Chain A
């Protein structure tokens, strides 16, 4: 135990001295969170909209006001000339144009009026989102207008977005970023740290010492376990303070599951370190060979259900998919352990397999 402690102290000193790695270890989560939180957002906020108002009556004015009040839109310009529309889209100054026909009010009261929405679909995703938001604004307006004449609204669709009524993208990316950061740091840093000792030749010295080889490897991983856990806390804190991420389930459960996932990534890093002998190779394997599938198959960016069947099958062996699922279940749905037993068992089994393979490879290497 004393030996183990001496080793862990030395590992911490290594990490502490290596300021660049330390910056990556603690800075990366913060930067990723900020980038995903503020720069990359699938929500469409303050979309600029051009209104061509042929009616110019009270009703059209009220509709325009509604758009202005919505946090999703800003009325960029109001005009009566349809010819200017292409110009605005070409310059990219608006995303959406709304055309209100003349006689808007009277038509609406009689047989119904035709509003036209024109969207810039060079980015199909945001065009879709903007038009659906606009439709929602118009629908609200219509409901208010016909308050006393419900006869016009025979079918009233009421959509409820469960767990995330405001469709906040942070509900998706906070678990996603957490998964990726853990995977990246846990795997790469551990692999590189051990391979570094191989490159320097210091591993030999450790192996001739009375320390058990497996203890050497485990104690190399301990500091990264601590750092990754600090990263989890850091991400959760930022998500809670800055990005309004809810924490609906049990925090201790979340931390325990995170610990399990960190151990999974660390043991994978250890496995990589037994297979390669240079730091570049270790980094290459963890980044290209692992981060890419981890990203694609986590379900964070691309829904797994939309993938062709063979890829769906492959996704099952990618640990990030399961951790992402666990995080979403606990944080967003607020469910308890009984709902995540399956992914937990899968992660645990993966960890055991990684560790067994590491042990086997390590012994072979010593012969």
Chain B
């Protein structure tokens, strides 16, 4: 197993506020890595650095084997990204969205056609593929958004609270898609608010006040903190937070 994300004392400061405080961790290829933390704990900032949207102040980080300081272009080519805020372009059809995002990742016409037909049949979209995205339910949008984010076969896909606002059943279906992707060797880096989802991850890190307070498999974390669920683990750690 190779390591697709390596960080070492990665730090990001905004003036005298330390958003990310010397975090060090590694993520294996094909792993589902849960990145948890209360609002303001620094997980979005960390994720922005890893996805090439922001430069760190100090420390080291490698994503897909490329350096976050000077190989941002290479990083971007090898990652997918999906955020809660973003689903898809609402006034384009599903097919047009697929073509657009495939297009900006440089997929050729033939590849694109094949990939989009495959995606449409895998999600059982059928006639829905030619409808405007805004007419589809949120759960569908998220599934399509995820599929689009991995259309170009990235090494890592970053998911920023991907399942916000949908019911548990749709969330479960969404996770099936993540499992499918990781079984093909794609690494999933997920932030979430839902602690039941934390249980689905291979390993989980919990950030408190910009630093990583715990990092292990869900089972190990539960026994370490003597808790029955990830929720309880999270509460114990989050309660110690100084900034909220």
Contact = CB atoms under 8 A, between A and B. Distances in A.
Pair from one complex? yes
Given A204-B83, A205-B83, A208-B52, A3 B77 contact: no
A366 B53 contact: yes
A201 B84 CA distance: 9
B76 A210 contact: yes
A208 B51 contact: yes
Nearest to A219: B104
B51 to A, nearest CB: 5
B20 to A, nearest CB: 14
Interface string B64-86: 00000000010011010111011
A130 to B, nearest CB: 53
Contacts of B53: 204, 207-208, 366
A200 B92 CA distance: 14
A5 interface: yes
Q: How large is the interface on B (under 10, 10 to 19, 20 to 34, 35 or more residues)?
A: 20 to 34
Given A208-B76, A208-B81, A6 B91 contact: no
A311 interface: no
Contacts of A200: 85-86, 90
A211 B104 contact: yes
Interface string B158-197: 1000000000000000000000000000000000000000
Contacts of B132: 17
A168 interface: no
B40 interface: no
B83 A3 contact: no
Nearest to A197: B89
B86 A10 contact: no
A208 B91 contact: no
Nearest to A14: B91
A279 to B, nearest CB: 14
Interface in A73-124: none
B76 A2 contact: no
B85 A17 contact: no
A15 to B, nearest CB: 10
Nearest to A10: B100
B141 interface: no
A6 B51 contact: no
A209 B55 CA distance: 16
B203 interface: no
Interface in A18-67: 18
Contact of B86 (A13, A17, A204, A366): A204
A322 interface: no
B18 interface: no
Interface in B86-124: 86, 89-92, 96, 99-106, 108
B73 A210 contact: yes
A9 to B, nearest CB: 7
Nearest to B85: A201
A205 B103 contact: no
A14 B106 contact: no
Interface in A207-257: 207-211
A367 interface: yes
B7 interface: no
A209 B107 CA distance: 13
B54 interface: yes
A367 B9 CA distance: 19
Contacts of B99: 6, 9
A13 B55 CA distance: 34
A10 to B, nearest CB: 4
A204 to B, nearest CB: 6
Contacts of A14: 89, 91-92
Contact of A367 (B55, B79, B81, B158): B55
Given A6-B103, A6-B104, A210-B104, A17 B91 contact: yes
Contacts of A205: 81-83, 86, 101
Contacts of A2: 103, 106, 108
A208 to B, nearest CB: 4
Contacts of B86: 200-202, 204-205
Interface of B: 51-55, 73, 76-77, 79, 81-83, 85-86, 89-92, 96, 99-106, 108, 132, 158
Given A2-B103, A205-B81, A208-B52, 17 more contacts: A3-B103, A3-B106, A6-B102, A9-B99, A9-B100, A9-B103, A10-B89, A10-B96, A17-B92, A17-B132, A18-B91, A200-B90, A201-B83, A205-B101, A207-B53, A209-B104, A210-B73
20 contacts: A2-B103, A2-B106, A2-B108, A6-B99, A6-B104, A7-B103, A9-B99, A10-B92, A200-B85, A201-B85, A202-B89, A204-B83, A204-B85, A205-B101, A209-B101, A209-B104, A209-B105, A210-B76, A210-B105, A210-B106
